[in-house]
Amino acid sequence: NNRFRAATILGACRLLSEACYRGLSKSLGLIEGYGGRGKGGLPATLSPAEEEKAKGPHEKYGYNSYLSEKISLDRSIPDYRPTKCKELKYSKDLPQISIIFIFVNEALSVILRSVHSAVNHTPTHLLKEIILVDDNSDEEELKVPLEEYVHKRYPGLVKVVRNQKREGLIRARIEGWKVATGQVTGFFDAHVEFTAGWAEPVLSRIQENRKRVILPSIDNIKQDNFEVQRYENSAHGYSWELWCMYISPPKDWWDAGDPSLPIRSVAGEPWRPTSPQIQGYKGATERGQKMGCDRIMALQPGQ
């Protein structure tokens, strides 16, 4: 259809733009390409001298941000989807998604890896835009350097929203939602990595029922070395102390022997545990619905 052809042309333009602006990351001391440290989701390492330099930033951010700067913004990570999930076919006429990242004083390399992986692994005709919501960060590198980079590297694709005061996570999400123009909005922490095929199952299930908020499984990225750690299929819930916890799927789901089947939530709505990996807290809901949150197969450092 016309939208698909237009997206193909736009995708070619983006590839040309990337070739022209590849040097932008070097000016920030960052790396691009699919190789290098941490390739394939393997543990990344530092030399003894680098380990000393990494201590301060690690304590500041809660993960090894110094090491993150040595890992490519485009690094490859494993695809842990079950075989049946990889074989599923989806309509080309799925709704477009606006991806909304929320951050406050996050490491620049981690934010940009989130953006790169979203662009690299979301079909062009399905990605309406990426919205970065800064909840009043103090770090200077998250101001002009961030904004100049994303606008030059991905012209017309990335929007930046700046809160004038610290609003908190939910109000920050609402600010991103206000400027979103996609049919579906997806909410994410700004420390995520996507793999191929993540968007289609999410958008397909929302297309089937626009009232759905998708809640797939979450994998992990280790905070000290960025190794990808596979988590088994599970539901997510909270203890009485409001700690997040993993819940095993019900017996009838296991008995069916098909990991591509959705798991029923308490409310009766299904969610699919077999989307590809993402690193971080996130959610997707159709625009026009009351805003909700969910997780879309995430890779979360240290979670």
Q: Can you give the residue ranges of every domain in the chain?
A: 2-301
Q: In the prediction, which pLDDT does 232 show?
A: 77
Mean pLDDT value across the chain: 82
Least confident of 10-14, 191-195, 295-299: 295-299
DSSP character at residue 253:
H
Q: Minimal CA–CA distance to 272: which of 232, 229, 214, 225?
A: 214
pTM of the shown model: 0.82
Q: In the prediction, which pLDDT does 153 show?
A: 92
Cβ distance 256 to 179 under 8 Å?
no
pLDDT band at 215 (very low <50, low <70, confident <90, very high): low
Q: Minimal CA–CA distance to 281: which of 206, 220, 203, 199?
A: 220
Mean pLDDT value of segment 164-190? 94
Q: In the prediction, which pLDDT does 224 show?
A: 93
Domain covering 2-301, topology? Spore Coat Polysaccharide Biosynthesis Protein SpsA; Chain A (3.90.550)
Q: Is the dihedral of CA 23, 30, 12, 187 positive or negative?
A: negative
Of the two residues 38 and 82, the one the predictor is more confident about is: 38
Q: Encode pLDDT of 131-163 as tens digits.
A: 999 999 999 999 999 999 999 999 999 999 999
pLDDT band at 65 (very low <50, low <70, confident <90, very high): very high
pLDDT at 75 over 50: yes
Residues 6+ apart with CB under 8 A from 215: 235, 236, 265, 271, 283, 294, 295
Q: In the prediction, which pLDDT does 17 show?
A: 56
pLDDT at 89 over 50: yes
pLDDT at 299 over 50: no
Mean pLDDT value of segment 243-255? 81
pLDDT at 276 over 60: no
pLDDT band at 20 (very low <50, low <70, confident <90, very high): low
pLDDT band at 107 (very low <50, low <70, confident <90, very high): very high
Residues 6+ apart with CB under 8 A from 286: 95, 183, 184, 185, 206, 210, 211, 212
Per-residue exposure over 134-169, b if at least 16 CB sit within 10 Å of its own CB, e if not: bbebebeebeeebeebbeebbeebbbbbebeeebee
Q: In the prediction, which pLDDT does 298 show?
A: 36
Q: In the prediction, which pLDDT does 21 show?
A: 64
Give how far the C-alpha of residue 110 lies from the chain's centroid of Cα atoms, to the nearest Å. 11
pLDDT band at 283 (very low <50, low <70, confident <90, very high): low
pLDDT at 279 over 50: no
Q: Encode pLDDT of 179-208 as tens digits.
A: 999 999 999 889 989 888 889 999 998 999
Q: Encode pLDDT of 21-50 as tens digits.
A: 667 888 888 999 888 999 999 999 999 999
